[in-house]
């Protein structure tokens, strides 16, 4: 007699979760607003033929109609619109018309979804995550849609890097295996071999497979070798070569790391780990020695090209490609945060054009954290409710465009202390008041950090008197003096600047 105790009892109240193949099927969407635009996008991603019926369209749907991504009937819904529809989605504010359309669909056995009217829906849209061929959907069965979004974000964040790419590449391998071994009788053999591969190799490593790796795996399948014996991509440790054999070359990897504001204690945990595991570190010239002391491998610093930053950048890019071609783990160490006036995106695009995708490790930006370390909050309730960051050394050495004066704004100007007199002239021309507090923040985060405070009228003379220690930045606005009242012991001021913190 069969033991039925092991059979699970069904839990009612759920939905039948399916991946519906909508390719080349016609999906009719009634409505032309933002909700309809979201439905259209989902249908297009499923390669459906999309027809929209609406008297007017929102800007997104106007764009899709102009690009011939959808067929648009510029009118209200008519019953014959259902004739060719495989699925119907209504996204209109007229609930009575939505109910009428839903009833027509049921008469025709056509599945229908009416936005925000659950009792009319044959199915619901779920909160989805898309990464190449991977689609993950979360449903709360219409009980807590907002919570479904949160759950989806948690699930997506837990996925290993490159999950979608790994799936696509396994799909390519699976197709090629079918081409060389198409017999239905060998289906179990194919499945078992691919199962071993998918269960054994880390997803991140499968994502890095290239065409040569796929060829190697295809050969291994043809020989029925254990997939665990095949070496994939660069994250496996290279095997020791036999005498007379050349070592196998691997593809290098690149990490773009922000060094923060100078103090090694303020590096992120990930940044410190990358510095420890690097084969070579390519560093900006201004990286503090305390940070470089954490590096155990070779450090290559940009050659000095006075007044020619592009040449120094080209030098680092050239060296980076050389090291990557040797299969090395390259850490590109940039001051502050790479994406805040650090040309980080330019480097990403450069290496991408050569077939390398960089991992990104952000760093503390001096634009916000530099003033903070020196006792200047860039925002303060009732004093400063906005922050604007500009560069004092734009492309071709141009001075910045100074924004109009706003009483409650903190203006942070990077890479401009050497041009302080010119900057002050621009501020005066823009009618910034002479009494406005100004600070020069120097070497923030380093043991010798210093702040020089004055006002717009006196800051140039003050800096000429006390000197300047690069690198530094300029902070303009009333937030400069929030924490520098004379009755408070100011541990952020160098002794040489005592008495200069007032805006008087």
Scored b (16 or more CB within 10 A) or e, 158-168 reads: eeeebbbbbbb
Q: Active site residue: 3, 9, 94, 116, which one?
A: 116
Tokens 């050969």 correspond to 219
Cβ atoms of 491 and 425 closer than 8 Å? no
Tokens 């020619």 correspond to 308
The region that residue 420 occupies, defined by phi over 0 for left and psi between -120 and 50 for alpha, beta otherwise, is alpha
DSSP one-letter string for 82-150: GTT-SEEEE--S-HHHHHHHHHHHHHTT--EEETT-GGG-SS---EEEEETTEEEEE--TTS-HHHHHH
Cβ atoms of 406 and 338 closer than 8 Å? no
- Helical pair 211-222 and 187-200, crossing angle rounded to 10 deg: 130
Residues in contact with 60: Cβ distance below 8 Å, sequence separation at least 6, in sequence order? 34, 37
Residues in contact with 346: Cβ distance below 8 Å, sequence separation at least 6, in sequence order? 313
Torsions phi, psi of 402, nearest 5?
-80, 130
Name the E strands within 426-469.
Answer: 437-442, 450-455
**337 an active-site residue?**
no
The Cα 75–Cα 85 span in angstroms is 17
Catalytic residue positions? 116
């Amino acid at each position: 007699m069969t033991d039925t105790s092991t059979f699970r009892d069904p839990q009612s109240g759920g939905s039948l979760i399916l991946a519906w193949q909508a390719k080349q099927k016609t999906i009719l969407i009634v409505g032309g607003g933002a909700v309809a635009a979201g439905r259209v996008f989902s249908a297009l991603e499923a390669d459906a033929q999309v027809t929209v019926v609406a008297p007017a369209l929102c800007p997104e749907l106007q764009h899709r109609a102009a690009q011939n991504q959808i067929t648009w009937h510029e009118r209200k819904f008519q019953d014959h619109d259902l004739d060719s529809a495989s699925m119907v989605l209504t996204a209109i504010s007229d609930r009575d018309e939505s109910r009428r359309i839903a009833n027509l669909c049921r008469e025709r056995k056509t599945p229908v979804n009416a936005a925000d009217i659950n009792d009319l829906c044959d199915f619901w849209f779920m909160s989805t995550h898309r990464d190449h061929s991977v689609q993950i959907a979360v449903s709360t069965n219409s009980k807590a849609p907002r919570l479904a979004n949160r759950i989806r974000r948690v699930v997506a964040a837990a996925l290993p890097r490159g999950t979608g790419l790994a799936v696509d590449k396994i799909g390519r391998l699976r197709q090629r295996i079918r081409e060389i071994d198409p017999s239905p009788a060998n289906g179990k053999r194919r499945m078992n071999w691919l199962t071993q591969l998918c269960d054994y190799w880390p997803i991140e490593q499968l994502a890095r497979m290239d065409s040569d790796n796929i060829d190697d795996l295809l050969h291994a399948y043809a020989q029925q070798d254990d997939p665990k014996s095949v070496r994939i991509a660069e994250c496996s440790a290279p095997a020791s070569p036999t005498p007379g054999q050349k070592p196998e070359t691997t593809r290098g990897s690149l990490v773009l790391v922000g060094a923060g504001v100078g103090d090694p204690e303020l590096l992120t945990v990930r940044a410190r780990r990358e510095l420890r595991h690097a084969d070579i570190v390519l560093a900006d010239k201004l990286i503090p020695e305390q940070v470089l002391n954490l590096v155990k491998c070779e450090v290559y610093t940009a050659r000095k090209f006075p007044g020619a930053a592009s040449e120094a950048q080209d030098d680092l890019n050239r060296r980076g490609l050389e090291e990557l071609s040797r299969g090395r783990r390259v850490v590109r160490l940039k001051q502050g945060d790479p994406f805040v006036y650090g040309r980080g995106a330019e480097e990403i695009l450069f290496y991408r054009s050569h077939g390398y995708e960089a991992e990104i490790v952000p760093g503390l930006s001096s634009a916000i954290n530099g003033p903070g370390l020196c006792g200047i909050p860039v925002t303060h309730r009732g004093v400063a409710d906005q922050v604007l960051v500009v560069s004092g050394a734009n492309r071709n050495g141009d001075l910045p465009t100074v924004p109009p004066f706003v009483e409650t704004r903190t203006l942070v100007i990077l890479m401009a202390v050497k041009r302080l007199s010119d900057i002050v002239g621009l501020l005066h021309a823009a009618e910034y008041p002479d009494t406005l507090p100004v600070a020069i923040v120097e070497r923030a985060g380093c043991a010798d950090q210093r702040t020089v405070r004055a006002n717009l009228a006196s800051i140039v003379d003050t800096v000429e008197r006390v000197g300047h220690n690069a690198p530094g930045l300029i902070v303009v606005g009333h937030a400069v003096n929030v924490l520098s009242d004379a009755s408070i012991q100011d541990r952020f001021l160098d002794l040489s600047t005592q008495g200069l913190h007032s805006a008087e």
